[in-house]
Amino acid sequence: MKKRVLFHGLVVFFFPVMLWAQTFTFTADSLAAHGAPGDFFDIYADIHNISSEELSLRIIRTQNALPSLYWQTSLCNAQACYAPDLDTIMIPDPMFSVPPLAPDSIAEFHLQIITDPDIPGTAYITIRVENVADTSDNATLSFTATTEPTGLGELDLPLTGIFQFYANYPNPFNPSTTIPFEIGGARPVNVQVNIYNVLGQNVAMLVNEPLAPGNYQVTWDARDHYGNIAPTGVYFYELRAGDYRQIGKMLLMQ
């Protein structure tokens, strides 16, 4: 333990300094999935040991809000998926020959989701990863899977052949706004339209699917991943299409 020494006359004061360091990261390329009723989803994330020691980790499903009994979620590692009713899995796990997480190595985690084949809905799942040796050393991700319609539509406009966002309308807006965009190129490309708050946090994913070249529009109803109404404030909408990225700014007035 480090000590800080302050000299004042002949008196010496000692103050302990506590140092906290995250030993791992828990990240995902996408926190949301969208498809048709009956689809199976696999959302992938990486757990990266950034410490100099082997880690034993606990992966906990802390929220599993499913729209119907026909939906199921399972925690999975690179080897297998566990039973849907199991809320906690471990690294290491001798059953599946999963060793402790070595320094500077990555463990694959994925969330498998089965949806209702008949009724659209949205599921909200939260996963926390914690260091078994120190549970204050943890990280959390919240995932969304939906089979609800996205509100994505095509626009009959002349094509310019480039990737671009157009200004959302109305702006400021309440309760919803429409975001037009064009997908350029000559072949389909995977497209994401994300909403972020001023802290850079992903509030909603409006589109996550391959789209052919053309003009489109998508509507945001000011709801976040959990279905909650977002508060008044400035938000940013982001278009990702292959290597292309563009960001626009809008104002929600509740």
Two structure tokens written together for 109 = 């985690």
Residue-wise pLDDT for 156-187, tens only, equals 878 888 999 889 999 999 988 999 999 998 89
> Would you put residue 136 in left (φ > 0), alpha (ψ -120 to 50) or beta?
alpha
Is the Cβ–Cβ distance between 86 and 76 less than 8 Å? no
Tell me if 24-146 shares its fold with 153-252. Answer: yes
Is the Cβ–Cβ distance between 233 and 241 less than 8 Å? no
The CA radius of gyration of the chain, in Å to the nearest whole number, is 23
Can you tell me which residue has the tokens 């700014």? 249
Strands 134-146 and 32-34: parallel
Percent residues over pLDDT 90 in the chain: 63
Two structure tokens written together for 113 = 């989701």
- C-beta neighbour count of 20 within 10 angstroms: 7
> Which residue in 211, 214, 210, 193 sits closest to 202, CA to CA?
193
Question: Does residue 148 have a pLDDT over 90?
Answer: no
Could you give the CA distance from residue 54 to residue 131 in angstroms, rounded to a whole number?
Answer: 11
Higher pLDDT pick, 228 / 230: 230
Tell me the average pLDDT of the chain: 87
Domain parsing of the chain, residue ranges: 24-146, 153-252
Could you give the CA distance from residue 121 to residue 35 in angstroms, rounded to a whole number?
Answer: 10
Could you tell me which residues come within 8 angstroms of residue 212 by beta carbon, excluding any fewer than 6 positions away? 183, 187, 188
Q: Which fold has domain 153-252?
A: Immunoglobulin-like (2.60.40)
Kindly state the average pLDDT of the residues 89-102: 94
Residue-wise pLDDT for 7-24, tens only, equals 333 344 444 444 457 999
Residue 20: what pLDDT? 57
pTM: 0.64
Residue 2: what pLDDT? 37
Write out the CATH class of domain 24-146. mainly beta
Q: Amino acid letter at 167?
A: A
